Structure 1
Amino acid sequence: MAGGRRSGVALLLDGPPGAPAPHCPHGPALLFAKIRQGKEEGRRFYACSACRERKDCGFFQWEDEKVSEARLLAQEKYNRSQQPFFSHAQNVERYKEFVILPLLERKFCQECQQLLLPPEWSRHSGHQVLSKVSFAQLRRPSQLLSPLENKKTNAQYLFAERSCQFLLDLIVAHGFKRVLCVGTPRLHELIKLQASQEQENPIRSLLLDIDFRYSQFCTEEEFCHYNMFNHYFFGGEAARDVCQKFLQQHKDKRIVMVADPPFGGLVEALAFTFKQLVAMWKQTGCADAASKELPIFWIFPYFFESRILEFFPSFRMLDYQVDYDNHALYKHGKTGRKQSPVRIFTNLSPHLIVLPVEEGYRFCCICQRYVSSENQHCEICNSCTSKDGRRWRHCLLCKMCVKPSWVHCCICDRCALPSHPCKNADARCFICGAADHKRTACPDLHTATRVCRGGQKLKQKKKIVKASVVKNSKKAKTAKRRKKKGKKASWLK
């Protein structure tokens, strides 16, 4: 069981053996349990693997619930209805027809996010359609498609050109010839673009992504519709075989996996999936495959370091700041707390990875790795200790380096923000006032939510009534003013 030490909801990776998990439109659901004071409490339940919010995917089922045949059939029917209209094979054929069209006839519907063939134009006449789609745009579909924006499901924060090129240069420098791109469409298309320009021994790439729109631009050997939260191939065994073949072929050529999951995703689920992909790679039949590690670059915020190391102890975090084109905060070059918190976690030795000096990175001779310029070496810790790009300071009482904004709290006996709530303070539930649980675990949460929503509706009604009174008052004043003007005009006559 993952997350047993915390209160709230925990993901159970050691589910009942042999019992298949129920499916929602995003594949097999995950098993969860409520945890209170480190102990499992109440009934276990299944929920969607990809969506953290019920409004995005409403699937819910108790583990011990007896589901009727009618409900199972209804769920299967609903799951089928949520799948894409065209299959991957059909999209490949459509793309072949699309590329031979004259430039004026190559159109893309920005509302439906779909390449259009001439017979389909009339059905999209009222939509916003982009004309004259060039081959350059087709080769960079991440710039043509609108990024998905749900932070907890399938958020697409696309690598900035700087970070994307750095990753590609890193892949080339280490001699990798195959790249398994898990949720990194922009890196995948950059590799394909470079491969088209190379005559001999180009780098090959396979994209695993939950965004099926990319199947319009990639062959079945280049893209698999995939959910990284439950290791699910939507294309079934055929798609799984494509991935297996890609991992196993060319045993003499090096392969690397680059993963950029949504930052709101569960680390436990992601770690479990990545281990499944590593297991697929180990089935290569090589004599030394079991003793080697699959090289991995896992891109995630630095504050998840302890959670990632819990599942992959051999990983190390690099100081390199990954930035994104379509994210307001995750930008390189900012200072202080505004710097990008996204880092690269890898099982490769950090001293083998050269970070660009022109971007403010330097080599620490003691640590034998590249660090950010502000990450000063602490002689007491004997390490470059900063995680967020700022210069940290050593606390003699804590016997470790801490963030520059933190101070040592004598009550908590640790460093924290000056405004932090001390452990001896009365921390109580905001709803019922009890001290043994938080608001999210309160038994009165449902009632409080209903009352809150009722209050919100009442406020909305009051606003509507108030707006109506103001509107009628304005009308009365206008009518009075007009009447007064009318009397004045008759008197002048």
Structure 2
Amino acid sequence: MENPETLGIEVVCPEGGLAAPCCPHGPTLLFEKGRGGRRFYACSACRDRKDCSFFQWEDEKVSEARLLAREEVNRSKQQEYRNRFEELASVLLREKKFCDDCQMLLLPAEHGAHSAHRTTAVTAAQLRRPSLLLRPLDNKKSNAQYLFTDRSANFLLDSLASLGYTKVLCVGTPRLQELIKLEKSRSMKSLLLDIDLRYAQFYSQNEFCHYNMFNHHFFGGEASSAVLKSFLKEVDEEKVVMVADPPFGGLVKPLANSFSLISQTWKDLQDSEDALTEMPIIWIFPYFFEPRILECLPSLSMLDYQVDYDNHPL
């Protein structure tokens, strides 16, 4: 399936605040093919039915058994990864291994079960740069990952630091998160929101939230939402900025809606005299989407800067 926006398929907002049915990636989006066409729900994150087969007509009645089956499928593996992170924290470095086949850090008791796989010992430096250890996701119709070069990431961080920002909300920008954690001299804090759950092996729950930016869904529920709110709260001269790097073919309207919700959360946490201020946002996206972005977020303006990616030729 191509980008729905190029096929005359529009994302529409459900009327009356009706809750959308859920797929494994959280609440689905409501689409309409052509003006007045029949509406249907489909996955917010995947543009190919091979990656997420969810499809439901808006007026379709779903049985209780089917709903329960969906809930079972939708259970996140977040807690499993959280437990793994906590257990690995107490394991000696020389006993830690990484399975390249499973893309997983291994506990000592798991080494035998992965003996036929490609495994390697990991260094402290690799644990601090998980984006160099993990294989980038490469499905262009769902979750393709393109990672900033260190040059581009450092330029962004230097620019933000010069503007006085002390907290960076990294939405789909794991490389940015890494460099902030590495360079303590910047005195910056960061929180990574990303749909790639593999990062939960490397970061605490206060550093990473499993998140779908196309529907503002936190797979960790209220606990993860609370982490975001705590991070967005500015105290003692702190200044927050959001840097988002969505997949290139992502739908603009759902992304803008999610970023607006984050901005509103930030605004609600500010003092009353700052209530009219917009949350600072850097949205990295192909330049030809500018008209669509301005339709949704007219307060943004395009900057003449091109970022470079390690795994994508521009």
User: TM-score w.r.t. structure 2 length?
Assistant: 0.95
| DSSP 3-state at the match of 1:130 | strand
Any idea what the Cα deviations from partners look like across 1:59-85, whole Å, max 9, x if unmatched?
0111111111111112222223xx337
Query: Are residue 315 (structure 1) and residue 300 (structure 2) matched?
Result: yes
Residue 10 (structure 1) aligned with residue 5 (structure 2): no
Amino acid in the other structure paired with 1:166: F
1:313 Cα deviation (Å)? 1.8
How large is the RMSD of aligned CA atoms in angstroms?
1.9
In structure 2, how many angstroms separate the alpha carbons of the residues matched to 1:148 and 1:6?
24
Q: Which residue of 2 aligns with 1:93?
A: 86
Q: Secondary structure at the match of 1:142?
A: helix
Deviations along 1:442-477, one digit per CA (max 9) or x if unpaired, are xxxxxxxxxxxxxxxxxxxxxxxxxxxxxxxxxxxx
Question: C-alpha distance in 1, partners of 2:144/2:6?
Answer: 26
Distance in 2, Cα, partners of 1:78 & 1:7 = 30
Report the counterpart of residue 147 of structure 1 in structure 2: 136
Indicate conservation of the 8 Å contact 1:160/1:324, yes or no: yes
SS in 2 for 1:154: coil
Map 1:448-463 → 2, pairs under 5 A: none
Alignment partner, residue 325 of structure 1: 310
Partner of 1:69: 64
Give yes or no for contact 2:88–2:107 (8 Å, CA) kept in 1. no
Structure 2: gaps of 5 or more residues: none
Q: What residue number does 2:229 align with? A: 244
Contact kept in structure 1, 2:169 and 2:191, CA below 8 Å: yes
The alignment status of 1:217 with 2:195, answered yes or no, reads no
CA positional deviation for 1:171: 1.1
Alpha carbons of structure 1 residues 204 and 308: separation in structure 2 relative to 1, 3 Å: same
Report how many aligned residue pairs link the two structures: 312
**CA contact 1:164–1:187 (8 Å) conserved in 2:** yes
Residue number among 18, 33, 36 corresponding to 1:40 in the alignment: 36
CA contact 1:180–1:207 (8 Å) conserved in 2: yes
The alpha-carbon deviation at position 7 of structure 1 amounts to: 6.0
1:330-341 equivalence runs, <5 A: 330=314
> 1:255-310: CA deviations, max 9, x gaps?
10000000111001100100000010011140223211111110001111111111
CA distance 1:316–1:97, shift in 2 (3 Å): same
Aligned to 1:326, the other structure's residue is in SS state coil
CA distance in 1 between partners of 2:54 and 2:71 (Å): 12
The one-letter code of the counterpart of 1:91 is R
Structure-to-structure mapping, 1:248-287, within 5 angstroms: 248-250=233-235, 252-287=237-272
Please give the alpha-carbon distance, in whole angstroms, between the structure 1 residues aligned to 2:182 and 2:223: 26
The alignment partner of 1:297 has SS state of: strand
Matched, 1:130 2:115: no
Rounded Cα–Cα distance in structure 2 between residues aligned with 1:288 and 1:306: 31
Structure 2 equivalent of residue 79 of structure 1 = 74
- Code of the aligned partner of 1:107: K
Q: Say which one has the larger Rg.
A: 1
Which residue is equivalent to 1:289? Answer: 274
Q: Distance in 2 between matches of 1:18 and 1:169?
A: 42
Once residues 208 and 284 of structure 1 are traced to their aligned partners in structure 2, the CA distance between those partners, rounded to angstroms, is: 19
**Percent identity for Structure 1 against Structure 2:** 58
- Give the structure, 1 or 2, with the largest relative contact order (CA under 8 Å, sep 6 or more): 2
Letter in 2 for 1:115: L
Structure 2 partner of 1:159: 148
Give 1:251 shift: 5.9
Q: Does structure 2 retain, via aligned residues, the 8 Å contact 1:152–1:263?
A: no
1:314 Cα deviation from its structure 2 partner: 2.3
